[in-house]
């Protein structure tokens, strides 16, 4: 019988935070359990703050403000997971870089609003590395690429949860996913705009290239603060 080869995740440290990149497709329920375990470890002083880079198999997730009866417009070809993160319905799948960000916000002195804005700035700065002009939009969660005629296309989703001062969930950036998988839903409850990816914008980059850009620009998330809430000497 042929044995399936498994590969260990890569791990390294940058910006005072541990980074983990998992190969293959990580089941959503397993990732959620691992995040919850790690958040508990951080709160207990037994775990490092962590940025976990991964891909999921094709699936949909519904956040705490989702209304599936309004946001599902076709038969879902993949499982739908109800989750505790903020936001509405979105898609995850191969070719999309998910980054789960587990940071002790209390210890660093970062409030939730500033943290979300930091995540937005992080994605915008990383995409700028590839020549992509991405923006925030008031009243619309996520990161958007302006197109002709006043239309915006969403290139990244943001959804977090904070438990006892520690963040989890995070961001999802479209590198080269199958964008047709968004068709059965109204992504994040917004009908007037579309979705895009680095590949759809003509950028030839893989997940590891995006990972390098995310690592370089991670100070946007931390606001220049070290693990003890002190201003970093590098900022």
Single out the catalytic residue among 156, 188, 210, 222. Answer: 188
CB 107 within 8 A of CB 42: no
**Number of residues in the chain:** 235
Q: Alpha carbon of 208 to those of 83, 92, 111, 222: distances in Å?
A: 27, 17, 30, 22
Q: Which residue has the tokens 């939009």?
A: 137
Angle between helices 207-216 and 112-128 (to 10 degrees): 120
188 in active site: yes
Measured between alpha carbons, how far is 218 from 14 in angstroms, rounded to an integer? 9
With CA atoms as reference, report the closest residue to 31 among 147, 39, 195. 39
**Residues with catalytic annotation?**
188
């Amino acid at each position: 019988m042929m044995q399936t080869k498994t590969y260990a995740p890569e791990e390294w440290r940058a910006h005072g935070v541990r980074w983990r990149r998992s190969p293959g497709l990580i089941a959503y329920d397993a990732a959620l359990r691992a995040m919850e375990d790690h958040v508990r470890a951080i709160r207990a002083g037994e775990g490092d703050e962590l940025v976990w880079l991964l891909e999921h198999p094709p699936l949909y997730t519904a956040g705490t403000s989702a209304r599936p009866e309004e946001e599902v417009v076709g038969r879902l070809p993949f499982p739908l997971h109800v989750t505790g993160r903020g936001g509405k319905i979105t898609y995850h799948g191969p070719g999309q870089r998910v980054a789960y960000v587990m940071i002790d916000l209390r210890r660093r002195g970062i409030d939730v609003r500033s943290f979300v804005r930091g995540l937005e700035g992080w994605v915008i700065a990383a995409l700028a590395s590839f020549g992509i002009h991405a923006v925030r939009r008031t009243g619309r969660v996520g990161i958007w690429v302006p197109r002709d005629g006043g239309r915006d296309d969403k290139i990244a989703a943001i959804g977090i949860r904070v438990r006892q001062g520690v963040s989890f969930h995070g961001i999802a950036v479209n590198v080269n996913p199958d964008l047709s998988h968004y068709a059965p839903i109204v992504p994040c409850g917004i009908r007037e705009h579309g979705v895009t990816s680095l590949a759809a914008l003509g950028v030839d980059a893989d997940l590891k290239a995006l990972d390098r850009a995310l690592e370089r620009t991670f100070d946007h998330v931390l606001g220049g603060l070290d693990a003890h809430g002190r201003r970093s000497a590098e900022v």
